[in-house]
Structure 1
Amino acid sequence: MTYLNDAARRGFLKTAAVLGGTAALGVPPLAAGADELPPSDIAVTTVKDTPSNSGAKLTVERRGPIVLFGLNRPDVQNRVDPDTFKELAEAYYNYDHDPSLRAAVLFGHGDNFSRGIDIDGFRSLGGKPPISEATAINPLATTPGPRLTKPLVVAVHGDTWNMGHELLLVADIRVASADTRFAQDENTHGRFPGGGSTVRFVREAGWGNAMRYILTGDHWSAEEAHRMGEVQIVAADAKAALETAIQLANKIANCAPLGIKTTLASAHLAIDPAEQEALFKLTAQYRELFQTHDFLEGRRAEIEGRRPVYEGK
């Protein structure tokens, strides 16, 4: 773990171009000689020149008072494995505890934001989040413990499925590229949406809209997501989506930070009490489903490329 100085950031942007990340999306670096904030409490993962060997599943880049988090497993469509989940949880915690940072942006490197959970990686954990609450914030906010008290903006593009969609739903402001393909299709694979969409998707889109997609497994477009109210802005492409998210984060960062935190805390009082009981039960429900015949059948069918045969047991 190192802190991004000028040279490190230039290396990050060079590598990001290879990955299809921030540089490839056309997001400019800070001007030469621009002031850097001191590293404070937040550490970042330095992306190496050879992405496949870097081991950096999450990139972190400070830009003055904002920070960019990039899901960085483009070779597997940014599926979130336990290591990535843990790194993101720790990055959220560090961001929340760094007084020099005022807003954050989450995005995905490569062609997709995220196709969701790395199911084999999480299966070995029995569905339990692989984090320590003492130094982490659950990115899905589905367990008791600390949560983000600062703003999070998410920019999505390409495939944004399942856990990828649920990471979006946790955000305070959501931007989607016009090419985004959303899905919450766990039920077609013998699973269920265990990362919060059964609560947050219903809240954002309404019961009928959410059930229309959760129960059938059908995918939907950025335009449909905007119609349902779960994304606030549809941008022309991935480049524009990320640029828009960064612009929004910078606007937030220009506001009084205590006012922003108080605004979020007040707004959460309106929704948290009604939601937390349902959210906090998800881990146990997911763990129980992992043991069923239909879950195993769904996984076997995916691997074998055939239609699953479910028996309700």
Structure 2
Amino acid sequence: MTNRITVDRDGHVLLIGFDRADKRNAADLQLLQELSLAYGELERDTELRVGFVYAHGDHFTGGLDLADVAPRIGADGLDITPEGGIDPWQVSGQRLTKPVVIAVQGTCLTLGIELILASDIAVAADSTRFGQIEVARGILPFGGATIRFPRAVGWGNAMRWILTGDLFDATEAHRIGLVQEVVPHGQQYERGLELAHKVAAQAPLAVQAALANARTAVRDGDAAAEAGLQSELVRLASSEDAAIGMNAFVTRTPAEFVGR
């Protein structure tokens, strides 16, 4: 059986590629499960610091392959996470503790937008056309858009696209803050990977702590995040990476962090 997801390593970055280009990378159950397993690998491997999600071909994803997926929706919904996997949309089960950079192009529908919202930095090619079109198919977004889209771009901006199912372009995605950068088509992979390596070059314990505290603020409120700041500072200040960072500052040399 042909894999739907490619998984490669580039230093401390795990490259995760949608690879069903002949179907515009539409997600059938196999693709969803393979993607979940890739996220599980990213989480478990201590040598991996950042995930970089991209797509082979001209399009990021046409959304769900409903012919394959719809019959699999049971009484409890849709289970896409096999043993050893992590839900890439982060709406169930174990949480990913490492950052993810994502690069998109061409068609980016439904679960593609939700994967952007579940990631941490997004780069879009200027060719990208986005659509949260579930209401036009008689269902609702179930990968986190109803939760994260309003928070990320504001209520009105989110509802404008969720409730109409209209398509919008990369300029609009950047205007509302869905993506952080727009680049010429064909450059999204290189720019996304560049950013992933930039994150991976920082102290990994500090990156993960900063990410966790920001998520705590979003999920549990400012007070919960504030309560953890000083203890995390003490923990990180005693790490080997903190000593490496201080030495790099004093000697004006690049830091080579070890994750301890």
Please give the TM-score of this superposition, normalised by the length of structure 2.
0.81
The 8 Å contact of residues 181 and 221 in structure 1, kept in 2 or not, is answered as: yes
Q: Which runs of 5+ in 1 are unaligned?
A: 1-53, 275-313
- Alpha-carbon shift at residue 186 of structure 1 (Å): 1.2
Q: Within 2, Cα distance between the matches of 1:130 and 1:95?
A: 17
The answer as to 2:90 corresponding to 1:141 is yes
- Alpha-carbon shift at residue 199 of structure 1 (Å): 1.1
Q: Within 1, Cα distance between the matches of 2:220 and 2:29?
A: 28
| Equivalent residue, structure 1, for 2:188 | 241
- Alpha-carbon shift at residue 129 of structure 1 (Å): 2.0
The 8 Å contact of residues 12 and 200 in structure 2, kept in 1 or not, is answered as: yes
RMSD between aligned alpha carbons? 1.2
The answer as to 2:41 corresponding to 1:91 is no
The code of the aligned residue for 1:139 comes to P
Once the two structures are superposed, residues 194-222 of structure 1 have per-residue CA deviations (whole angstroms, 9 ceiling, x without a partner) of 11111111111111011111111110010
Once the two structures are superposed, residues 99-154 of structure 1 have per-residue CA deviations (whole angstroms, 9 ceiling, x without a partner) of 1111111011111000111112221221412223x5111011111x2111111000
| Equivalent residue, structure 2, for 1:114 | 61
Q: Within 2, Cα distance between the matches of 1:131 and 1:273?
A: 25
Secondary structure of 1:124 counterpart: helix
The code of the aligned residue for 2:79 comes to P
- Residue among 94, 99, 114 paired with 1:151: 99
The answer as to 2:108 corresponding to 1:160 is yes
| Equivalent residue, structure 2, for 1:219 | 167
The answer as to 2:99 corresponding to 1:130 is no
- Residue among 208, 211, 232 paired with 1:264: 211
- Alpha-carbon shift at residue 94 of structure 1 (Å): 0.8
The answer as to 2:157 corresponding to 1:209 is yes
Secondary structure of 1:148 counterpart: coil
Please give the TM-score of this superposition, normalised by the length of structure 1.
0.68
Equivalent pairs: percent with the same residue? 41
The code of the aligned residue for 1:104 comes to G
The code of the aligned residue for 1:254 comes to A
The code of the aligned residue for 1:156 comes to V
The 8 Å contact of residues 117 and 164 in structure 1, kept in 2 or not, is answered as: no
Q: Within 1, Cα distance between the matches of 2:80 and 2:165?
A: 27
The code of the aligned residue for 1:259 comes to A
TM superposition outliers: structure 1 runs of 4+ over 3 Å: none
Q: Within 2, Cα distance between the matches of 1:55 and 1:267?
A: 38
Q: Within 2, Cα distance between the matches of 1:190 and 1:81?
A: 18
- Alpha-carbon shift at residue 61 of structure 1 (Å): 1.1
The code of the aligned residue for 1:78 comes to N
The 8 Å contact of residues 157 and 176 in structure 1, kept in 2 or not, is answered as: yes
- Alpha-carbon shift at residue 190 of structure 1 (Å): 1.3
- Residue among 59, 62, 77 paired with 2:9: 62
Query: Larger deviation: 116-125 or 148-157?
Result: 116-125
- Alpha-carbon shift at residue 185 of structure 1 (Å): 1.1
Once the two structures are superposed, residues 239-270 of structure 1 have per-residue CA deviations (whole angstroms, 9 ceiling, x without a partner) of 21111111111111111110011011111101
Q: Which runs of 5+ in 2 are unaligned?
A: 222-260
Q: Within 1, Cα distance between the matches of 2:187 and 2:111?
A: 23
The 8 Å contact of residues 116 and 165 in structure 1, kept in 2 or not, is answered as: no
Q: Within 2, Cα distance between the matches of 1:200 and 1:217?
A: 17
Q: Within 2, Cα distance between the matches of 1:267 and 1:121?
A: 36
